[in-house]
Amino acid sequence: MAGFWEEYLGSPNTELIEWFGGLRRRCRTGIVSNSFVGAREREQERYGFEDLTEVIVYSHEVGLAKPDPAIYALVCRRLEVAPEDAVFLDDRQAAVEGAESIGMTGILFRDNGQAIAAIEALLGPG
């Protein structure tokens, strides 16, 4: 199982993780992950995601998965934000389209610079 978890967790994108963690001072943040049992604990051990963000929605815990629009609606409810006031970033086009289908602004991740710039442009100064 150790090899499986190594592959599942991958290596950290430290630049993006650090930037994302800093967003909490400016806006509400959440993570939506297609996952399975054990992911929350392993990701917390390795990356400390629960310390970086307000809400984490794991698909295996809620019985929904990206790109089902219901999972995006759930994270918006938990964050207490309207979908039209939310931004969703993912590296899969289908997941981005799922978020957009409920009114969220979707951004397809290509690289750190592009993703950070796109979100910063939406957030504006300060």
pLDDT tens digits for range 50-68: 999 999 999 999 999 999 9
pLDDT of residue 29 exceeding 90, the answer is: yes
What the chain holds in terms of domains, given with CATH numbers, is 2-123 (3.40.50.1000)
Whether 2 has a pLDDT exceeding 80, the answer reads: no
Judge if the upstream peptide bond of residue 69 is cis by omega within 30 degrees of 0.
no
| DSSP bridge pairs for 56 | 31
Report the predicted TM-score, pTM, of the whole model to 2 decimal places: 0.91
